[in-house]
Amino acid sequence: MNALTKDFTDAVETQFSKLNADVQDALKKANTTEGILFDLEQKMARSDFHGGGEYREKSWGEQFVDSDGLKAFSENHSSPARFRLDVKATVTTGATSGGPLGNPAYRDALNNLPQRRMRVRDLLPTVSISSGSVEYPKQTTRTNAADVVVEGALKPESAYGWTMETVTPKVIAHFVPASRQILEDAPQLRDTIDTELLYGLALKEEEQLLTGSGTGENLDGLITNATAYAAPFDPAGTETMLDTLALAILQNAIAEEPADGIIVHPSDWMRMRLLKDADGKYILGDPATAVAPVLFGLPIVATQAMEIDKFLVGNFRRAATLYDRWTPRVEVSTEHADFFTRNLVAILAEERLALAPKNAAALTYGDFGNITE
């Protein structure tokens, strides 16, 4: 081999060695078979790998002590804090396990108790607020002196009066205790608890929107601020439940507050649905047909929040405004009694809202007269 050929061969071998070293280095860093084997070789070289095929990861205590989060927690002296570490389970490659204690049980869907459909809120205008109170002007008087005027004569003077009203949001809340383990092991159960808690809020909210007394921490409800039903004319002794509602609608119209909805108990809606004419035919439609809950062009809201044999006809868009300070929310905490040491959590649901009644004449509340004391 001459000198030129030897030099060329040496250069090629040098470049090949360098290229091979670069490839091996890339494989070691990549998630490939060679890289994984290299990683295992490195682990075997460490003292954590023991004879018999057992690789020992850090114990829970070691993970806890060596955690960066614990160091930050220890250095935080300015305010109360919490630290949580999700430790890694110890893996033993050389040992055998008996496996799970048994086949997991089949879990069917949860069978919950029935829930009422909430409808009263849907009738009201709703506004989100960020303050602890709401002020609104409410007109109290209107003296209209408008009239025709002779040229050069003094014009008549009208008078109007307003007052500034204030409402403050009220809190509706409740909580349930639960095992932390159950909530972490059964997400379906956790989600159901959340749903039940929110349903409980809505149930109480609907009751307060209708019948809240306005005292203490109660909302000032619609019925509490309604005008009593007084038939504008006598239907000559032939009055039915449908006639009563028609006359209540008329009462609203005469008060310049045309109604946009009717609230009754489901029993009363069914009682009206069963009304028949002289030939025995159902007035509101054949039982085989789906009859929309509408009377005289107004939607019927049938809710058990309304007392049986009572009704509320109203121009709900003008009758009151609902203000949401906190929308319904669910929170979980161990900060209750000794829950932290007992591995329990308190699951809290709450909302904060205000109801401002604005026009009593916009609501007509009455009795069908089917139930006598």
> Would residue 282 be called left, alpha or beta, if left means φ above 0 and alpha means ψ between -120 and 50 degrees?
beta
Tokens of 103: 């086949």
pLDDT tens digit sequence for 226-252: 999 999 998 877 789 999 999 999 999
Q: Judge whether residue 12 has pLDDT over 70.
A: no
More confident site: 236 or 44: 236
More confident site: 169 or 42: 169
pLDDT tens digit sequence for 45-101: 554 544 444 555 665 555 655 667 656 655 654 544 455 555 455 444 444 444 444
Q: Judge whether residue 6 has pLDDT over 80.
A: no
pLDDT tens digit sequence for 305-359: 999 999 999 999 999 999 999 999 988 898 889 999 999 999 899 999 999 999 9
Q: Judge whether residue 286 has pLDDT over 50.
A: yes
CB atoms inside a 10 Å sphere around CB 344: 18
pLDDT band, residue 102 (cuts 50/70/90): very low
Give the pLDDT confidence score for residue 294 in this predicted structure.
94
More confident site: 96 or 115: 115
Tokens of 293: 């809950």
Q: Judge whether residue 165 has pLDDT over 90.
A: yes
SS3 readout for 299-366:
EEEECCCCCCCEEEEECHHHHEEEEEEEEEEEEEECCCCCCCCCCEEEEEEEEEEEEEECCHHHEEEE
Q: Over range 194-200, report the average pLDDT.
A: 89
Give the pLDDT confidence score for residue 47 in this predicted structure.
47
Q: What's the chain's average pLDDT? A: 81
Q: Judge whether residue 176 has pLDDT over 60.
A: yes
* 3 state SS of 101: coil
Give the pLDDT confidence score for residue 183 in this predicted structure.
80
Q: Over range 10-15, report the average pLDDT.
A: 66
More confident site: 6 or 239: 239
Q: Judge whether residue 10 has pLDDT over 50.
A: yes
Distances (CA, A) of 322 to 156, 166, 167, 223, 316: 39, 13, 10, 15, 11
Q: Judge whether residue 26 has pLDDT over 80.
A: no
Please report the domains of the chain, with CATH numbers, ordered by start residue: 120-145+157-367 (3.30.2400.10)
HSE-CB at 3 with a 13 A cutoff on CA atoms is 0
Give the pLDDT confidence score for residue 98 in this predicted structure.
41
The percentage of residues in the chain with a pLDDT greater than 70, rounded to a whole number, is: 69
Tokens of 106: 């089949």
Give the pLDDT confidence score for residue 39 in this predicted structure.
58
Q: Over range 271-288, report the average pLDDT.
A: 94
More confident site: 365 or 140: 365
d(CA 226, CA 360): 5
